[in-house]
Amino acid sequence: MSSLSPPPVPMELHAVNRRKLFDSLRRHLSSTDRPLDGFVLLQGGEEKNRYCTDHAELFRQESYFAYLFGVREPDFYGAIDIGSGKSILFIPRLPDDYAVWLGEIKPLSHFKETYMVDMVYYVDEIIQVLSEQFKGSGKPLLYILHGLNTDSGNLSKPASFEGIEKFETDLTTLHPILAECRVIKSSLELQLLQFANDISSEAHVEVMRKVTPGMKEYQMESMFLHHTYMYGGCRHCSYTCICATGDNSAVLHYGHAAAPNDRQNQLSSQIAMSSLSPPPVPMELHAVNRRKLFDSLRRHLSSTDRPLDGFVLLQGGEEKNRYCTDHAELFRQESYFAYLFGVREPDFYGAIDIGSGKSILFIPRLPDDYAVWLGEIKPLSHFKETYMVDMVYYVDEIIQVLSEQFKGSGKPLLYILHGLNTDSGNLSKPASFELCSGIEKFETDLTTLHPILAECRVIKSSLELQLLQFANDISSEAHVEVMRKVTPGMKEYQMESMFLHHTYMYGGCRHCSYTCICATGDNSAVLHYGHAAAPNDRTFEDGDLALLDMGGEYHFYASDITCSFPVNGKFTSDQSLIYNAVLKAHNSVISAMKPGVNWVDMHKLAERIILESLKKGSILTGDVEEMMVERLGAVFMPHGLGHFMGIDTHDTGGYPLGVERPKEPGLKSLRTARDLLEGMVITVEPGCYFIKALLVPAMENAKTSKFFNRETIERFKNIGGVRIESDLVVTANGCKNMTNVPRETWEIEAVMAGGSWPPVTTGNNTTK
């Protein structure tokens, strides 16, 4: 499907860039009275979570740091010695459990070789190393990057670290010189720019060939993104795609959150590659959610001496740029705000009157030139109708409107969202009012709202379940599509690209529920593979087992599905042993689930079944009860059995007040320890992994070493790991599995050989 293949990336490109800066800076300093010593010091980008959740956003390196060092991982620093030209990387010192969750902890020598620098140390050694390397007199001088991006009007963020006051710092010299270095491209840079153009040109042509009337604009975007990733290895897009048709073509920066490439042209027939189509989003869903919160909050207040008045006030998400540039990151709404209001645009506020239950949206007052660049400035009535709220005003009217709407006595009380996310350990950001003078007219409560609203999200309404089911349907279909198309010799990221394309093209899922995990071979033992330091980039081989953990997001609502299968379409006996152990655990938990069942007990059930299967397969030996006491199950399944799922993949409510987190290995990783209730949506995702960082200590431990058959376990290490994950809704008498993918080994083999899914039934016969 492409005449191109991604070229190798020459790391000497960045060495050339460093030399260019070194020469330019020394020429500049030679024209002043500054000595030719000191250091250029840059701080790389930091990995960020989506709001307060543990959803790690796909990392892209800060551009100046990328230009000089080519580093793809977060949290690095880089220095250039102005005296010698030598380059130094400072890498984060990772915790031991990184090796369990995120992959091998690489030695310093790995980064020295990979990034072609002269020295590598840890970040906490910056002061010591730069002090020792400095050959001048007095305090070493650090040239720090800080200056204006003339496209965005934003200032670059200067490097900072504990102890920087021990150095002299210059925040003005470096930026204009380094910015100018980037203007003239080297031959190596031109090679990469040419390939980016080649694959993008080819993708544009591919879209032209496939577009037909009746498609959605976003389907053109999906085709383009798929082609550049599938055949060009382009995981990131240079900017938010603009796919405008009709009148939308007059919107210069179309494609953003308020105009998300979602127009449909006149209808005509098109080839169906999916049995599904995105359902209409019922905005009454969010009205139901608001009513649920209103009733819950009033019940709580009725049990106290608080009056039944005041307002719930939430701040929606803000659009963010990539570092100091004008590259607007694709906006996704803050989840609590999305839950209550369903708003897809940034910079909104929302309120609920606790006295009347009325809902109010406050929208940003847009400048006139918004209509030129970003589209029509909609009237207030548009948002009132679209989001089914009672009133709409501008953000700068919050104080006036809430004061007028308040029917109580004294100062109006605002219930502000602020509380701990028990998955990430982060606090939600309380609403702020920089644009609103007069906030002192209100009292604020930062403790009451969060636990009540978090609990509201635990039990799903029938309307929420409809969206969760569609997200599961389209994601299940995408997983099956990947199974059908995978062949040995592909790159892991090509499986990711196929999945993302299917969920967006046919399901309208512009966002993914989390960073895709497409692990093969040994990588399958890395629980959270797929991140910037392990970016689904291995070429997999005949005989490898694949572990694909991917889910599409539809109108904020998530899916989270994991399939494990052999890339050549045939399980070996060893692969079958591990796979069937996990499948038996998966199915046994689902059979046992019903209201009142405790989730810790379900985790232990899965552990026990896996241990029994490993013993039966001669990988382990001894008494399974004793293994359970010694927590041997956590060696093979260190993560929790599953988590609540909804408007976040790891949804809220796992550990409300009164529910304690277990402390034992494996169990402490559980994202909830609650009893199941009807209406909960929870994943069931047992796994069995051969993780060196866990196996080696366990095999050397006096209490657990006796359980291992060392000769047999060596044979299984190359399998990596197996995980099987489905999304379940708890019903009155049991549970319903929303996920529909092949699970039995024979089903997987049949689908990979070209069989239909679900199997076609004719009379009493099933066509496999």
Question: What pairing do the DSSP bridges indicate for beta strands 552-553 and 511-512?
Answer: antiparallel
Mean pLDDT of 45-51: 96
Question: Between vectors from CA 325 to CA 114 and to CA 366, what angle results, nearest 5°?
Answer: 150
Question: Are residues 449 and 471 both part of a single domain?
Answer: no
Range of the domain at 120: 12-181
Q: Is residue 274 part of a domain?
A: no
Task: Give every CB contact of residue 542 below 8 A, 6+ residues apart in sequence.
Answer: 488, 567, 568
Question: Are residues 434 and 492 both part of a single domain?
Answer: no
Question: Are residues 554 and 628 both part of a single domain?
Answer: yes
Question: Are residues 517 and 651 both part of a single domain?
Answer: yes
Q: pLDDT band at residue 28, thresholds of 50, 70 and 90?
A: very high
For 43, the 3-state DSSP assignment is: strand
For 437, the 3-state DSSP assignment is: coil
Reported as a single tens digit per residue, the pLDDT across 121-131 is: 999 999 999 99
Q: Which of 123, 148, 181 corresponds to the end of one domain?
A: 181
Tell me which residue has tokens 């009540």: 452
Reported as a single tens digit per residue, the pLDDT across 292-347 is: 999 999 999 999 989 999 999 999 999 999 999 999 999 999 999 999 999 999 99
Q: Is residue 279 part of a domain?
A: no
Question: Are residues 483 and 450 both part of a single domain?
Answer: no
Question: Are residues 418 and 526 both part of a single domain?
Answer: no
Q: pLDDT band at residue 272, thresholds of 50, 70 and 90?
A: low
Mean pLDDT of 555-559: 99
Q: pLDDT band at residue 268, thresholds of 50, 70 and 90?
A: very low
What is the overall mean pLDDT for the chain? 95
Task: Give residue 216's pLDDT.
Answer: 95
For the CA atoms of 179, 323, 536, 504, what is the dihedral angle to 10 degrees? -120
Reported as a single tens digit per residue, the pLDDT across 573-626 is: 999 999 999 999 999 999 999 999 999 999 999 999 999 999 999 999 999 999
269 pLDDT above the threshold of 80: no
Task: Give residue 762's pLDDT.
Answer: 52
| DSSP conformational letter for 195 | H
Q: Which of 428, 456, 484 corresponds to the end of one domain?
A: 456
- CA atoms in the 13 A half-sphere facing the CB of 54: 14
226 pLDDT above the threshold of 60: yes
Backbone angles phi, psi at 246, to 5 degrees: 60, -140
Q: pLDDT band at residue 257, thresholds of 50, 70 and 90?
A: confident
Q: State both tokens at 681.
A: 């949506």
Where residue 246 falls (left for φ over 0; alpha for ψ -120 to 50; beta otherwise) is: left
Q: pLDDT band at residue 413, thresholds of 50, 70 and 90?
A: very high
Task: Give residue 266's pLDDT.
Answer: 54
User: 254 vs 251, 281, 382, CA distance in Å?
Assistant: 5, 22, 19
| DSSP conformational letter for 540 | P
Question: Are residues 304 and 364 both part of a single domain?
Answer: yes
Does residue 730 contact residue 680 with C-beta atoms inside 8 Å? yes
Question: Are residues 479 and 340 both part of a single domain?
Answer: no
Q: Is residue 4 part of a domain?
A: no
Taking the CA atoms of 704, 709, 712 and 715 in sequence, report the sign of the dihedral they define.
positive
98 pLDDT above the threshold of 60: yes
Task: Give residue 337's pLDDT.
Answer: 99
> Which residues is 594 bridged to in the sheet?
none
- Dist. CA 85–CA 108, nearest whole Å: 20
Q: Is residue 194 part of a domain?
A: no
Q: Taking Cα atoms as reference points, which of 413, 387, 400, 201 lies closest to residue 313?
A: 413
Q: pLDDT band at residue 193, thresholds of 50, 70 and 90?
A: very high
- Dist. CA 365–CA 377, nearest whole Å: 9
Q: Which long-range contacts (CB under 8 A, 24 or more apart) does 262-268 make?
A: 262/216, 262/217, 262/218, 262/508, 263/216, 263/217, 264/214, 264/215, 264/216, 264/217, 265/213, 265/214, 265/215, 266/213, 266/214, 267/213, 267/214, 268/212, 268/213, 268/214
Q: Is residue 609 part of a domain?
A: yes
Q: State both tokens at 444.
A: 């604020």
Q: Which of 401, 426, 456 corresponds to the end of one domain?
A: 456
List the CATH number of the domain containing 68: 3.40.350.10
Question: Are residues 534 and 469 both part of a single domain?
Answer: yes
Number of domains in the chain: 4
- Dist. CA 115–CA 436, nearest whole Å: 48
Question: Are residues 291 and 380 both part of a single domain?
Answer: yes
- Dist. CA 23–CA 29, nearest whole Å: 10
Q: Is residue 347 part of a domain?
A: yes
Q: Taking Cα atoms as reference points, which of 157, 131, 155 lies closest to residue 142?
A: 131
- Dist. CA 216–CA 278, nearest whole Å: 11
Task: Give every CB contact of residue 115 below 8 A, 6+ residues apart in sequence.
Answer: 11, 14, 69, 70, 71, 89
Tell me which residue has tokens 């709404």: 333
- Dist. CA 552–CA 514, nearest whole Å: 8
Question: Are residues 753 and 667 both part of a single domain?
Answer: yes
Q: Is residue 258 part of a domain?
A: no
- Dist. CA 427–CA 412, nearest whole Å: 25
> What percentage of the chain exceeds 70 in pLDDT?
97
Q: Is residue 271 part of a domain?
A: no
267 pLDDT above the threshold of 80: no
Mean pLDDT of 96-103: 95
Backbone angles phi, psi at 13, to 5 degrees: -50, -45
Question: Are residues 447 and 476 both part of a single domain?
Answer: no
Task: Give residue 765's pLDDT.
Answer: 44
List the CATH number of the domain containing 712: 3.90.230.10
